[in-house]
Structure 1
């Protein structure tokens, strides 16, 4: 039995004894481990350590260094000339909040070097922040083509049949809806003690059928149109001049609208590059022509406030940010949501903003300088839908200008003029009346038509409250054909904003307007480079990403509606007792499975305007998606008393009064609180959003919302997560 060895024997026999010369393995200094029981760091714990404040501090330091160098140079020059030198008084810091003379170092008012840009579906508005009103430019570009848009497409409004009577041109669905609206209008007029002639429609039809136009020679027409001259040297024409190009011009030009219904117009383009090129080219040419900035080398002295929709697309916002820095070369850029800008322009701290534009209508509640996220709604109808429906109604009643085609440029301008003159929501003077208009086309004699209308001028804008009368069949065509949706870099889930109020709108469409839900494609094409979005069946709470919900599920597959919307939304008319979900207490518990994003892209979001407002206010006053969650009654009363209706289409006479009447009928428990108002101080509702952006642009640039070129160069579009005034 072998005995136990001592420790010294083990070191000797087993080779464990140390035999080195005590030299270190490396000359590099060794860092000892931190004692985790007692250590402290201030990294990113103070405000002055953030990127924005560090850069502002560096700018102030550079400014002080420059001022010190200028003083030393002036002192040396005075000593050389033998003159006494008086040191100037130190300049006040720029971060103070006093309201003294807002002058910068160059004795120019703040905002004179700030450009405010607001892009709409039909018009672009831009100008300096110090301007009283913006410049308005049609958001259209004309490019050379073999055929014009009128020659290459079917007439609009789209006729389903041509060899039949005008009553059958637009199909049975439109005829049924139009007849129903006319019948309801008669009932309401009788209830209001208005006189209703039983044969009014027949009088209109008979007159329009029998009257022919009167021809006027061009030299006898004092209001003849000055058409845009074209030549082979002009590759493109932008703005108002593009709308004045004759349809039969030589060479031919085709109009392109890069923005349709608040989205990039993917249907009419074949490549993403061409679509984005036209979008930014219209803005660039408008800055050159309308603001007088001819050379891009001067643009690095200017900053830009760019107004975006409340429910934005991150891909487009990131692309705009890239273009404004890399191509336009602006010094600083700031993004601002439209509803927030409207509250700035109106001077309201709390309001429900209703923006009725040309092709989209947005509703959003604003409180204390922030858009309430779950209250945002974006619907795809507006003033252009009223124009198209008004023309369809007149053609339905045997309008004597039966070749009306909104795809032709002069007819489009004529239709907009007729809508502005003859549409109203007041039933005071709705009788059979005689009007006239002139058709002015290039190379043709002016034609003077006399026509009669009865209630078409009121039924067309009533489409805001019965959107099923509008044409929705082509509004989502080409959606996601060129522009991929934004997805989270880590989870791969879509991360564009999808508020709860917008979900209620999708639910309304699924149940009440099935024609606005497009059929799925047979073989959906997947964009190159677009991450695949999984659709497992496991539901998850709405608004919570899958990777934060205890699972790795993607977007669940479910019906279009995660859960039913408010009860008063389901039947198309508000409940008189005001007990529906949009009114408060019985709102749907929208916390089930989230709709498939593919279904959302195929759904045209629309809802009656009054119900959309109540839905938005309801979701602004709840603290949770649960129906049993308490309602902030004080906030609801504040929002009901500050409904601000803006946008170009809101200029329809008596629209605000009619809307207030319908809201009070839906919410009888608030007889005095509901108030629908227009812009204060007689501001034009078309430019109120731009005006709010200009107000913000005139503030001192000491807030964190401005993005500098150095910040974009370091972080790219990721800087939006830190710089936006809302949760990006």
Structure 2
């Protein structure tokens, strides 16, 4: 090996001279190649490397420090006085320091007065402070200036829609809703008579004719306004149209006269638990209306006028069990940016219901105005594969009840649910007269008062027979509902959420919901693509003839249990077969088909399907869920509903007939507000609630923070 040669030798022998100074080309340390056979990294594998988790650790450390300081201060003060002072606890609980995070326990802060609980629905918004006993209920509607009201649109077409003759004349009441409705309504009437006779109940042979003849010749009685003690105070509109407000929200919007000057049109931003995309042209207008309704409710109902003070408040926002990711992320942005809350957390509806009612294991059946959700909850967690979301509710019962009454010559034949006073009247009639007790079915005489702006009050008398029971019975025969417009405008403005890595839809799905969709449209179970007529509302909303056998098998799950995709499993024994989690292909298929098929099946079949998927084949779990079916929501507040549902479930699951119990929330809680009550309980938890999203976390991470903050798998 040749030794190192000097510069002079190089210059003399080879004509080269070294001119460098033996310094390295760079001061950066050299990076060695990674050993491909064995290498390891700790990136995002420790809690202190994740911002939300690091903030939680810092908060716990600060609480411990504050607790230690309080303890030392109390001991020092006690030693100076040579005895403990009254009201000073020598054994300060560590949980007290954990609860307050350095904030004082005195005052109203410890009672949840700095937490606002919001539960939006398709028809009503329930809002209030966590310290309140009951929520404030506000209609989820906003009225904006428009050229015409909603009752004047589409040629003043009424709701429910009536058929007309070719010359434009109105058909007879028995034919105004089409042959299909008349046939199904007549069949329901005949089945009810058979059932009542089987139960030894008296049935008059000419009951229907009696009420029809009475309603035909029942003229209204006119009452002058000054003689009406219950007259309505309508929303006042300034005489000068230029001074009229741009919008009204809540009850004020529903009390605007239909023929006001200027005209106002009602907008319901949520329909059937979805965004109401059919009534909007821009999605920003849809988002603004939701924020405006909540903002006005906070100002008027909670008396928090100054918006800049809302940064001192936290917000508990209640979301559906089977939600859409875009809905949750948009709600987070609205609460943080538009409303300016200091911190936000989310909780699912069924979990909140168990919080409010004090249940540990339950099958929660929430019958709302336009959607019905079913979910099994166990030990503080929603079982993902048991979640079912059906697109019908109390509003469908109201419309069907009016159609049945009109079919039987209802004296107020001009009723139009698009008119505001008629809409409120129809809701009142359903609440007062509908029942599911067969013992109440007989020809009965009732009356109601029609109050319209600028008109004298009219008093109507009418008779009812079986309409009061058959309308709510639509929960178990949903084909009687009008489901033709529920998918109108779906995905017109807001697309579904997609995974940024795999590209497929990533909205949450459940095997129970997939089974429901397969029962409605067996085409999906074979993987065949649908024709995609959802934009025109021309999709399957009722089970076709081909799925009749599947529905029959779903009604007998002990012998033929339903699998994850809705096909009957082999009946090796009499116990339900274990239902595993749906595979990735089924999840993607169910998510993509959710917009093409309207989930509408019988309520009892849906409950049995949810429990079958939630119990995972365990007989013990099946019994636990059937023993704790909790019915909540305003749509189920019909006399006799729970007993009727219990009979239906016993018919479907005769092997568990002794175990089936339909319950309501205890402690005399209002079933309509039990979800909100659970949200208020959740909002007052401190120390154990790590789901709060702060402003700094949201500013840095955005919606990605939901991965670490949601109580469920985001």
Counterpart of 1:366? 377
Counterpart of 1:205? 212
Count of residues in Structure 1 that have an aligned counterpart in Structure 2: 664
Counterpart of 1:78? none
Structure-2 separation of matches of 1:27 and 1:601: 61
Q: State the 1:511 CA deviation.
A: 5.3
Counterpart of 1:474? 485
Q: Cα distance 1:39–1:703, how it changes in 2: closer, same or farther (>3 A)?
A: farther
* Deviation readout 1:100-146 (Å, 9 max, x if unpaired): xx963766314110000000000000111110000000001111112
Q: State the 1:21 CA deviation.
A: 5.4
Q: Cα distance 1:390–1:103, how it changes in 2: closer, same or farther (>3 A)?
A: farther
Counterpart of 1:440? 451
Decide whether the 8 Å contact of 2:579 with 2:612 is kept in 1: no
1:612 matches 2:606: yes
Counterpart of 2:228? 221
Counterpart of 2:518? 507
Q: State the 1:708 CA deviation.
A: 0.8
Counterpart of 1:113? 114
Does 196-205 or 413-422 show the bigger shift? Answer: 196-205
1:678 matches 2:678: no
Counterpart of 1:176? 183
Structure-2 separation of matches of 1:280 and 1:440: 32
Unaligned runs of 5+ in 1: 1-5, 72-85, 525-558, 623-630
Q: Cα distance 1:518–1:391, how it changes in 2: closer, same or farther (>3 A)?
A: farther
What secondary structure does 1:116 align onto? strand
* Structure 2 counterpart of 1:692, from 672, 678, 684: 678
What secondary structure does 1:581 align onto? coil
Does 162-171 or 355-364 show the bigger shift? Answer: 162-171
Structure-1 separation of matches of 2:430 and 2:215: 18
Structure-1 separation of matches of 2:348 and 2:302: 23
1:263 matches 2:258: no
Q: How does 1:1-400 map to 2 (within 5 A)?
A: 22-30=22-30, 46-47=46-47, 50-59=50-59, 104=105, 108-153=109-154, 154-161=157-164, 163-231=170-238, 232-400=243-411
Q: Cα distance 1:486–1:249, how it changes in 2: closer, same or farther (>3 A)?
A: same
* Deviation readout 1:253-297 (Å, 9 max, x if unpaired): 111111110011101111111111111100001001111110111
Decide whether the 8 Å contact of 1:560 with 1:596 is kept in 2: no
Decide whether the 8 Å contact of 1:640 with 1:675 is kept in 2: yes
Structure-2 separation of matches of 1:404 and 1:46: 65
1:456 matches 2:437: no
Q: State the 1:429 CA deviation.
A: 2.0
Structure-2 separation of matches of 1:364 and 1:62: 38
* Structure 1 counterpart of 2:555, from 547, 551, 574: 574
Structure-2 separation of matches of 1:344 and 1:565: 42
Q: State the 1:670 CA deviation.
A: 1.2
1:636 matches 2:637: no
Decide whether the 8 Å contact of 1:566 with 1:588 is kept in 2: no
What secondary structure does 1:166 align onto? coil
1:602 matches 2:605: no
Decide whether the 8 Å contact of 2:99 with 2:687 is kept in 1: no
What secondary structure does 1:152 align onto? helix
Structure-1 separation of matches of 2:512 and 2:61: 47
Decide whether the 8 Å contact of 1:578 with 1:669 is kept in 2: no
Q: State the 1:681 CA deviation.
A: 1.0
Does 703-712 or 105-114 show the bigger shift? Answer: 105-114
Structure-1 separation of matches of 2:245 and 2:34: 71
Structure-1 separation of matches of 2:43 and 2:147: 63
Q: State the 1:25 CA deviation.
A: 2.0
Q: Cα distance 1:669–1:63, how it changes in 2: closer, same or farther (>3 A)?
A: closer
What secondary structure does 2:341 align onto? coil
Counterpart of 2:499? 488
Structure-2 separation of matches of 1:579 and 1:59: 53
Decide whether the 8 Å contact of 1:512 with 1:572 is kept in 2: no
What secondary structure does 2:262 align onto? coil
Q: Cα distance 1:523–1:297, how it changes in 2: closer, same or farther (>3 A)?
A: closer
Decide whether the 8 Å contact of 1:207 with 1:451 is kept in 2: yes
1:709 matches 2:709: no
Decide whether the 8 Å contact of 1:560 with 1:595 is kept in 2: no
1:721 matches 2:707: yes
TM-score by length of 1: 0.83
Structure-2 separation of matches of 1:633 and 1:459: 34
Structure-2 separation of matches of 1:263 and 1:269: 13
Structure-1 separation of matches of 2:257 and 2:535: 40
Does 374-383 or 60-69 show the bigger shift? Answer: 60-69
1:665 matches 2:651: yes
What secondary structure does 1:56 align onto? helix
Q: State the 1:29 CA deviation.
A: 3.8
Decide whether the 8 Å contact of 2:63 with 2:97 is kept in 1: no
**Greater fraction helix:** 2
* Deviation readout 1:561-608 (Å, 9 max, x if unpaired): 9xx999975239834976543896368997676537554312211110
Counterpart of 1:538? none
Q: State the 1:57 CA deviation.
A: 4.0
Structure-1 separation of matches of 2:441 and 2:170: 32
Structure-1 separation of matches of 2:494 and 2:687: 33
Unaligned runs of 5+ in 2: 72-83, 564-573
Q: Cα distance 1:573–1:316, how it changes in 2: closer, same or farther (>3 A)?
A: closer
Q: Cα distance 1:341–1:24, how it changes in 2: closer, same or farther (>3 A)?
A: same
What secondary structure does 1:150 align onto? helix
Q: How does 1:399-438 map to 2 (within 5 A)?
A: 399-438=410-449
Q: Cα distance 1:465–1:34, how it changes in 2: closer, same or farther (>3 A)?
A: same
Structure-1 separation of matches of 2:547 and 2:646: 20
